[in-house]
């Protein structure tokens, strides 16, 4: 796999003219994009006078290359690009680097250094704990031990990223002294939120706190709350507490600044030990060495509120069915989808494939 910066580059001098580019995912949700823009504005104030731009990978504008165009037109040739991704899955490993490599090939005068994802970081764990404490601060030690924590991850076709959510869950569970904890996902992998919550109700805890390990709001947050409401209505004996997502927690702002510093100091070392593209991971052995390329051209700059994927799989919100079903199935339904290697557990009974309508079966 190629990298998104020059081979053996000299470090940026902090006194040189450089800018920061935040590469976001993008959302069909207007509120989600507004929250991202507000976060960027706060980050600009944090690192001022350094210039900060941003762009989205899909579903919203400006797209990533628009941000680079803006910086280039203002005379910047050195840019620190940070992926606005909680974990390193396909977006951080393939899609964004492919966009950066393509841009540098078109504009060889640009020196773009790529940072690493948020990942497992004490600051992120502290931010997550803060959001959970907002809803459990009134509980005694004994009451915490009677509380079950459910952490909701985005879900990816990358087992390393999914496993990292579970590690976050364990650190929160142990650090906050809660009685039990489970990890569920909003899409792509298993178990989904509804199925996982239903299983959690059988463990006998008096209350369940649900924490979405998400950066911003969006259609997936709405889907998570809908799933909570459904299970809650069926189990009135359990008190459900809803923690907020990460948003602009001060620790997240501090962590992003640290990711920039890592690039400037040449400490942005990616964790490749468990990367399915570099080493054989059980169940994903055939994906070693796959080409690094973007799978989001179909949705790049599509704009909020449109139907960029022309997708007839998911109903009211994306749960990642396009990442779990084979390319042949995509073509047979006339859509332009994320043409990734098919997820090997797409037919898991607790996964997204189980939510297909009969017409899609």
> What's the token pair of residue 350?
């607790």
- What pTM value is reported for the model? 0.80
> What's the token pair of residue 267?
């400490």
Phi, psi (5° rounding) for residue 210? -105, 125
Task: Please say if the pLDDT value at position 72 is more than 90.
Answer: yes
Rg (alpha carbons) of the chain, rounded to whole number? 21
Confidence at residue 241, expressed as pLDDT on a 0 to 100 scale:
98
Segment 308-317, tens digit of pLDDT: 344 555 555 4
Segment 122-172, tens digit of pLDDT: 999 999 999 999 999 999 999 999 999 999 999 998 889 999 999 999 999
Give the number of other CB atoms < 10 A from CB of residue 37: 12
**Start-to-end CA span in the chain (Å):** 35
Least confident of 152-156, 262-266, 303-307: 303-307
Burial letters 110-124, b for 16+ CB under 10 A, else e: bbbbbbbbbbebebb
Confidence at residue 207, expressed as pLDDT on a 0 to 100 scale:
98
Q: Distance between CA 157 and CA 147 in Å, rounded? A: 30
CATH of domain 122-242: 3.40.50.1400
CA–CA distance from 355 to each of 152, 156, 171, 310, 313 (Å)? 18, 17, 31, 18, 9
| Per-chain mean pLDDT for the chain | 83
H/E run at residue 82 = strand 78-83
CA angle, residues 290, 295, 296, in degrees to nearest 5: 160
Task: Please say if the pLDDT value at position 80 is more than 90.
Answer: yes
Give the residue extent of every domain in the chain: 122-242
């Amino acid at each position: 796999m190629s990298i998104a910066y020059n081979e053996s580059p000299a470090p940026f001098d902090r006194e040189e003219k450089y800018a920061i580019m935040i590469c976001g995912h993008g959302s069909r949700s207007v509120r989600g994009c507004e929250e991202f823009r507000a976060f960027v504005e706060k980050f600009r104030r944090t690192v001022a006078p350094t210039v900060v731009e941003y762009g989205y990978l899909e579903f919203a504008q400006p797209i990533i290359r628009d941000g680079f165009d803006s910086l280039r037109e203002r005379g910047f040739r050195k840019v620190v690009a940070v992926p606005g991704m909680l974990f390193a899955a396909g977006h951080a490993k393939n899609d964004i680097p492919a966009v950066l490599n393509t841009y540098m090939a078109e504009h060889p005068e640009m020196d773009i250094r790529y940072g690493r994802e948020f990942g497992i970081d004490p600051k992120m764990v502290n931010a997550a704990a803060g959001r959970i404490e907002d809803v459990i601060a009134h509980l005694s030690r004994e009451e915490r031990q009677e509380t079950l924590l459910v952490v909701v991850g985005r879900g990816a076709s990358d087992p390393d990223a999914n496993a990292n959510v579970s590690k976050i869950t364990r650190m929160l569970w142990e650090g906050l002294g809660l009685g039990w904890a489970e990890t569920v996902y909003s899409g792509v992998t298993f178990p989904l939120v509804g199925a996982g919550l239903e299983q959690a109700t059988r463990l006998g805890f008096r209350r369940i706190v649900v924490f979405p390990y998400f950066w911003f709001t969006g259609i997936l947050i709405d889907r998570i709350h809908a799933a909570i409401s459904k299970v809650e209505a069926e189990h009135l004996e359990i008190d459900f507490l809803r923690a907020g997502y990460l948003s602009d927690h001060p620790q997240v702002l501090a962590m992003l600044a640290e990711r920039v510093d890592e690039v400037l100091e040449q400490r942005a070392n990616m964790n490749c030990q468990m990367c399915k593209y570099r080493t054989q991971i059980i169940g994903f052995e055939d994906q070693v060495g796959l080409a690094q390329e973007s799978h989001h051209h179909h949705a790049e700059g599509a704009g909020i509120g449109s139907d960029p994927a022309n997708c007839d799989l998911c109903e009211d919100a994306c749960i990642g069915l396009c990442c779990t079903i084979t390319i042949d199935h995509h073509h047979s339904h006339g859509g332009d989808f994320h043409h990734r290697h098919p997820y090997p557990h797409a037919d898991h009974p607790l996964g997204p494939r189980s939510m297909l309508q009969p017409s899609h079966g």
